[in-house]
Amino acid sequence: MGNNQKKSEQQNNTQNILQDLMKSNLKAQTHIDLQLKNYTLSNKQVAQLNNSLVKCQKLKSLVLNLNKESISDDQINQLFTKYSSIKKYVETGNNVSNDQIYSQILFFLNIFYEGNHDCQELRLNDIEAQGNILLEETMSNLINLNSLQLNLDGNQLGDGGAVWICKVLSRCKTLNNLNMQLWKNKIGDRGISSIAEGISSCAQLTTLTLNASANLFGKEGAFSISTTLSSCKMLTHLDINLFNNQIGEEGASAICRVIGSCQLLENLKFVLCNNQIGDRVAFCFGTALSNLMSLINLKFCFSKNKISDEGVLNVGLGLSQCIQLKNLDIRMKFNKIGNDGASAIGSAIGNCKYLDNLSFFIGGNQIGNDGAQNIGLCLSKCTQLTNLDFRIQQNQIGDDGASTIGTALGNCKLLTNLIFYIHANQIGDNGAQNIGLGLSKCTQLTNLELALGQNQIGNDGASTIGTALGNCKLLTNLKFYIYANQIGDNGAQNIGLGLSKCTQLTNLDFRIQQNQIGNDGASTIGTALGNCKLLTNLKFYIGANQIGDNGAQNIGLGLSKCTQLKNLDFIIQQNQIGNDGASTIGTALGNCKLLTNLIFYI
């Protein structure tokens, strides 16, 4: 479809939306949700919109979505399918535009894949000047409006457009709930200061969401945000995202100090990733947390900065005061945190005994056994957890640290969902055995992601892990990554025996490549596959081992029973498989008649 035709269709759709609004009973409207994504309103349409809104005297809630996007839903889904390991790191949701999601994906691909990927930097299209969409006079008439959401991602508003937002907000005296999505709008210090001034006019706010990530403001803009927050005394919910700006230590510290004065907060989300901040900011944030003892939900993201033990110690002290927390999400990966900082955070988590949901991302730091042991000792006190996402990969953890963390898992008997990433450490059999012993007590699990790859695990550790899998009989979704270790036939056989008991699985991602597995181990794993008859999605990576025809034949026989498969990713190359093994696998594929997607390397 040509650009001119697409623009014509968009304008027609815009007109239809506005016509529907004008035909409605405007005087009775209490909630209006205008989804005008990728549309540019003409002067006539702006007038129609404002003339309609002026008549909505009972209007309490207004959503205006004018996000500009060049990335489709399908493109995002394809990227998440291709790079599934980074999906958890990316902020999504109804308010996040596809272009913003794409930029986050690119950011994490550059970290985890070190630039070795095929995604290109997003180039925003030139945006036609939109002008003032909501007029001051219009907003002045909406005397009952208590909720306003402006989705303006990628509009390249600049400082001039920010002045328009300020004027709109200055008329919103009755707002309780304000949500502004302003990602990548070329807003500098002057612009964010104008927006902050507008927010200050909304003296009755209890809920504020401000996503100003990927803009151009620095510390002066951050100072303006801090001044505004100091006037928002009634806030119970604050969500502020300043990812990828240039605010620096002074600006971020000022915001942190003021957050600590918002003592009515029950929900706080604070994102400061990739801002070159260090211990000074972490110290101020810790002090702020110590004042927020009413918090129930807390998420803070300080990843890819320069924070070390010195700053994290105070974060831990502050967090330890937040004993009412039920949901906690900590993201501090790729900093300079060592044992002391990890121990402080661990101690704080141990104080949060009411936690139902915990996400703890602290991979890519400098944590050794001492830090991991203290994290484990404190995690063992969180006995009410039902959902745990624990990522401590790419550190320097050995058997002692892994063992204590494993014991802690055994105390979390109510878990139904567990993501446990401890790959790329220095864990051997003893550590893996204790992880397995702990995991074996988590019998209520329905979803499990277990990443133990790139360690030093042999048969003994793998065997105990396998036994643990066999105890998790309720699993419907399993990701099992134990690649690049030292596992031979005996360990693989016990993994297979455990897997064979997981008969409720519908989704299995099984990666045991780069080990020392021969025919016996492969055969038992193959038999296990045959027990998983409900599978619809299977990723099976067992390449770079020592498997011959006999092992491949048994894998094929097992695969032939997985007749419900729709998606199969099967990689078994770099083994010693000949014609007999390949033939049986080929016959098995013929039984998978429902397949729509197949990736096959032999």
Q: What is the pLDDT of residues 294-332, one digit of tens each?
A: 999 999 999 999 999 999 999 999 999 999 999 999 999
Q: How far is CA 306 from CA 8, 249, 272, 303, 565, in A?
A: 49, 11, 12, 9, 46
Would 186 be classed as within a structural domain? no
Distance between CA 394 and CA 389 in Å, rounded?
A: 16
Same domain for 298 and 325?
yes
Same domain for 425 and 543?
no
Mean pLDDT of the chain: 92
* Domain limit, last residue, from 77, 92, 113: 113
Would 98 be classed as within a structural domain? yes
pLDDT in tens, 233-251: 899 999 999 998 889 999 9
Would 528 be classed as within a structural domain? no
The residue segments making up the domain with residue 47 are 1-113
pLDDT in tens, 42-60: 888 888 888 989 999 899 9
Radius of gyration of the chain (CA): 27
Q: How many domains does the chain have?
A: 4
CA of residue 217 relative to chain centroid, distance:
25
* Domain limit, last residue, from 285, 320, 355: 355
Same domain for 351 and 371?
no
Contact, 442 vs 418, CB < 8 A?
Answer: yes
pLDDT of 7 above 70:
no
Q: How confident is the model at residue 12 (pLDDT cuts 50, 70, 90)?
A: low
Q: Please work out, in degrees rounded to the nearest 5, the angle formed at the alpha carbon of residue 487 by the alpha carbons of 486 and 488.
A: 120
pLDDT in tens, 120-143: 776 655 545 455 777 777 887 888
pLDDT of 157 above 90:
no
Same domain for 462 and 511?
no
Same domain for 576 and 472?
no
Same domain for 31 and 101?
yes
- Residues 362-386: what's their mean pLDDT? 97
Contact, 38 vs 69, CB < 8 A?
Answer: yes
Q: Which residue has the higher pLDDT, 157 or 381?
A: 381
pLDDT of 359 above 50:
yes
pLDDT of 152 above 50:
yes
Same domain for 390 and 339?
no
Weakest mean pLDDT among 52-56, 101-105, 518-522: 101-105
Would 260 be classed as within a structural domain? yes
Q: How far is CA 3 from CA 6, 7, 8, 9, in A?
A: 5, 6, 9, 10
Q: How far is CA 477 from CA 417, 445, 474, 534, in A?
A: 10, 9, 9, 11
Distance between CA 158 and CA 215 in Å, rounded?
A: 9
- Residues 22-34: what's their mean pLDDT? 92
Please tell me the predicted confidence (pLDDT) of residue 115.
64
Residue 390 sits in a domain whose CATH number is 3.80.10.10
Would 51 be classed as within a structural domain? yes
Residues ≥6 apart with Cβ < 8 Å to 212: 180, 182, 183, 187, 192, 195, 241, 242, 245
Q: How confident is the model at residue 3 (pLDDT cuts 50, 70, 90)?
A: very low
* Domain limit, last residue, from 78, 113, 148: 113
Please tell me the predicted confidence (pLDDT) of residue 1.
45
pLDDT of 90 above 70:
yes
Distance between CA 257 and CA 424 in Å, rounded?
A: 36
Same domain for 440 and 508?
no
Same domain for 268 and 311?
yes
Would 122 be classed as within a structural domain? no
Same domain for 508 and 482?
no
Same domain for 347 and 277?
yes
Render 478-538 in DSSP notation, one character per residue.
EEEE--SS---HHHHHHHHHHHTT-TT-SEEEEE--SS---HHHHHHHHHHHHH-TT-SEE
pLDDT of 2 above 50:
no
Please tell me the predicted confidence (pLDDT) of residue 129.
46
Which tokens is 290 given? Answer: 């110590």
Length reported for the chain: 602
pLDDT of 564 above 50:
yes
Distance between CA 535 and CA 328 in Å, rounded?
A: 33
SS3 letters across 109-157: HHHHCCCCCCCCCCCCCCCCCCCCCCCHHHHHHCCCCCEEEEECCCCCC
Please tell me the predicted confidence (pLDDT) of residue 448.
98
pLDDT in tens, 178-220: 999 999 999 999 999 999 999 999 989 999 999 999 999 999 9
Q: Which residue has the higher pLDDT, 111 or 443?
A: 443
